[in-house]
């Protein structure tokens, strides 16, 4: 019985919570330290999908834009709008690099939703336009994190 290994790549603007999400899912921890790094290329977690053992390898990414976000003093609202605007570009990059793979759009930090300048309908409309499943999540509160990866594994195995 061969174990299935799936590579998952988390992309998005700096400070949206990519590293935190991977740490939460694979290690069960959350920290506030902005500049933390996982220190390895990826973390793994084993799950069962329809009785099948699946090993998820979660690859973290950090681009120049992250360093910009750190050095630049930013307002949360501004940063939110920027990261929202960048979503179609991220999707395009992924499609260009790896083709049409199972993809989700995650709105993280919903524990801060009072501060959000992105309306639900806006986010949902974008997901629809990009033809991806949409999740609202909070890595901090551990809301909808495992659901995201379960969905991706499921979707991948259906292909
Ligand atoms: P990355 O640059 O996308 O990897 O973002 P990080 O994982 O480094 O997270 C950036 C900051 O957002 C850190 O201070 C995290 O603690 C914080 N953060 C991540 N997820 C959440 C969340 O769900 N809620 C809140 N309130 N903060 C979060
Ligand atoms: Mg990071």
Q: What is the pLDDT of residues 36-67, one digit of tens each?
A: 555 557 899 999 999 999 999 999 887 655 55
Tell me if 14 sits within 8 A of 67, measured CB to CB.
Answer: yes
Nearest CA to ligand 1 atom 15: 32
pLDDT, position 130: 97
Distance 55 CA to ligand 1 centre (A): 25
Q: Which ligand is nearest to the CA of 22?
A: 1
Output the pLDDT for position 2.
74
Percent helix, strand, coil in the chain (nearest 5)?
45, 20, 35
Query: What number of residues does the chain have?
Result: 159
Q: pTM (2 decimals)?
A: 0.90
Burial of 94 (0-12, 13-18, 19+ CB in 10 A): middle
Can you tell me the distance from the alpha carbon of 33 to that of 70, in angstroms, rounded to the nearest whole number? Answer: 12
Cα–Cα distances (Å) from 117 to 24, 67, 92, in that order, read 25, 23, 24
Distance 108 CA to ligand 1 centre (A): 8
In the reported structure, the alpha carbon of residue 51 is separated from the centroid of ligand 1 by a whole-number distance in angstroms of 33
Is 26:42 a contact under the CB 8 Å cutoff? no
Sign of CA dihedral 132, 54, 94, 15: positive
Cα separation, 6 vs 134, whole angstroms: 20
- Say if residues 126 and 105 touch (Cβ distance below 8 Å): yes
Q: How confident is the model at residue 71 (pLDDT cuts 50, 70, 90)?
A: very low
């Amino acid at each position: 019985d061969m174990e299935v290994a799936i590579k998952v790549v988390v992309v998005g603007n700096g400070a949206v919570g990519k590293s935190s999400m991977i740490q939460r899912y694979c290690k069960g921890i959350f920290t506030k330290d902005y500049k933390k790094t996982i220190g390895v290329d990826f973390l793994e977690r084993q799950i069962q999908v329809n009785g099948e053992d699946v090993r998820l390898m979660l690859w973290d990414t950090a681009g120049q834009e992250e360093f910009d976000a750190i050095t630049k003093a930013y307002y949360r609202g501004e940063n939110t709008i920027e990261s929202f605007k960048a979503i179609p570009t991220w999707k395009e990059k992924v499609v260009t690099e790896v083709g049409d793979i199972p993809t989700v759009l995650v709105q993280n930090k919903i524990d801060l939703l009072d501060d959000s300048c992105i309306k639900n309908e806006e986010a949902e409309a974008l997901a629809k336009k990009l033809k991806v499943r949409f999740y609202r999540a909070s890595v901090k509160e551990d809301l909808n994190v495992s659901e995201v990866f379960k969905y991706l594994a499921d979707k991948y195995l259906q292909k």
